[in-house]
Amino acid sequence: MKNKKRVLFVAHIDNHIQAFHIPFLKLFKDNDYIVDVASNGNSKFKYCDHKYNLPFQRTPFSLDNLRAYTQLKKILNENNYDIIHCHTPVGGFITRLANKNCNYYEDTKIIYTAHGFHFFNNNNFFKNFLFKNIEKYAAKYTDILITINQEDYNAGQHFQLKNNGKLFLIPGVGINLDYINQVRFNKNTFMNSLNIPIESKILLSVGELNTNKNHIVVLKALKTLPHYFHYVICGDGDNKTKLLKEIHHLELDDRVHILGYKKNIYEIMKCCDFFLFPSKREGLSVALMEAMACGLPCVVSKIRGNEDLIENEKGGYCVDLENEKFNIYINKILELGLSKSMSAFNYNKVSNYSIKKVNLKMREIYERNE
């Protein structure tokens, strides 16, 4: 006979748990649950009783994922969890498959949060077919499916969930508006540190330097903009060398500033004039929500998630990536004097995506389905 209820959180990597799920570990801990975490890495988390290091790999067909499945199935059989909440495509699929084949399948409530399905509008047909059918199969063993953007929610309505399974749409993972509001900044100090003239306009992108984030689109736009525009990029990644070559090729060395990963990102955001986000694929971007909370007008790619957040001509513009006309919309915001109104609109809209509101929604889901 079990004394305490048990919950397990699963994600592909430790960073995902640390970045998005600590408040929910605390929620269960405060309700006297035994709280366990399974992910790839050796991190120790607050409010966690047991941390399992599983060899999840992002590449779906890695043999390490088979090892992760075997180890996870053993963990599930040994612990008889009341609730399992899984995240990330690989972690989410392996967890639901392992739970389906463990001894306590009928006793465990399994929740999957899709932080952006790997099938989406305008994606490669074969990839969409493959990933959609994988998610459709896993949905049959899912009690609760949580989506974070409208496109994914619409797709989820066509899935058959386990028994009387439920589908929810929540406003992302939440951002800490109270903290963002308290951040102070000095724009002159920031610009001087980068040798940017005070009269310049600063474009900002935040995110990993990879092909999906698509920084090259902004570099091409910058080339056509007046010389007083500068582009600040915060993030690290494998694409840095390629970006530096393109910057040099476009003769933009003195107008592009790659700062790497920055802890004071809110301070930097408040020093900039525009937020540019040309990603090819997103779920519901935290960086974009943070930029909105910092009062930046936003020019973004016209993809799911971004379209949930940015309303054309009110908070910025959603741009078709095939056109790549980011420069036109940046100029339009300036010429029409829309920066202040867009700043206010974005700040008000993003209040619906606060961590407080997300936590309340998740608490309702957990408590209603215990």
User: What CATH code is carried by the domain that includes residue 207?
Assistant: 3.40.50.2000
**Rounded mean pLDDT of 63-78?**
97
Predicted TM-score of the model (pTM):
0.91
Do 292 and 343 fall into the same domain? yes
Mind giving me the DSSP string for 75-105? HHHHH--SEEEEESHHHHHHHHHHHHTSTTG
Residue 323 pLDDT > 70: no
Residues 143 and 258 placed together within one structural domain of the fold:
no
Residues 137 and 286 in one domain: no
Same domain, 187 and 146: no
**199 and 327 housed in the same domain:** yes
Give the integer Cα–Cα distance in Å for 228 and 328.
Answer: 16
Q: Whole-angstrom distance between the N-terminal and C-terminal Cα of the chain?
A: 18
Q: How confident is the model at residue 61 (pLDDT cuts 50, 70, 90)?
A: confident
- Residue 324's pLDDT band, with cuts at 50, 70 and 90, is low
DSSP-assigned states of every residue in 226-247: -TTEEEEEEB--TTHHHHHHHH
- When pLDDT is cut at 50, 70 and 90, the band that residue 1 belongs to is very low
Listed residue (308, 302, 324, 326) closest to 122, CA to CA: 302
Helix (H) or strand (E) holding 181: helix 177-182
Q: Which helix (H) or strand (E) holds 114?
A: strand 109-114
Q: What burial class does residue 293 get, using C-beta atoms within 10 Å of its C-beta: 0-12 exposed, 13-18 middle, 19+ buried?
A: buried
Do residues 285 and 263 lie in contact, with contact meaning Cβ atoms separated by under 8 Å?
Answer: no
Q: What angle do CA 313, 293, 327 make, to 5 degrees?
A: 40
* Phi/psi of residue 116, nearest 5 degrees: 125, 100
Instruction: Work out the pLDDT band at 368, boundaries 50, 70, 90.
Output: confident
Residue 1 lies in a domain: no
Average model confidence (pLDDT) across the chain: 94
Whole-angstrom distance, CA of residue 194 vs CA of residue 159: 50
Same-domain status, 205 and 301: yes
Q: Which two tokens stand for residue 9?
A: 């959180």
Residues in the chain: 370
**Same structural domain, 204 and 339:** yes
Q: Are residues 251 and 283 in the same domain?
A: yes
**Count of structural domains, the chain:** 2
112: containing domain:
6-174+354-368
62 lies in the same domain as 97:
yes
Inter-axis angle of helices 89-100 and 63-79, nearest 10: 50
Average pLDDT over residues 9-22: 94
User: Are 209 and 249 part of one and the same domain?
Assistant: yes
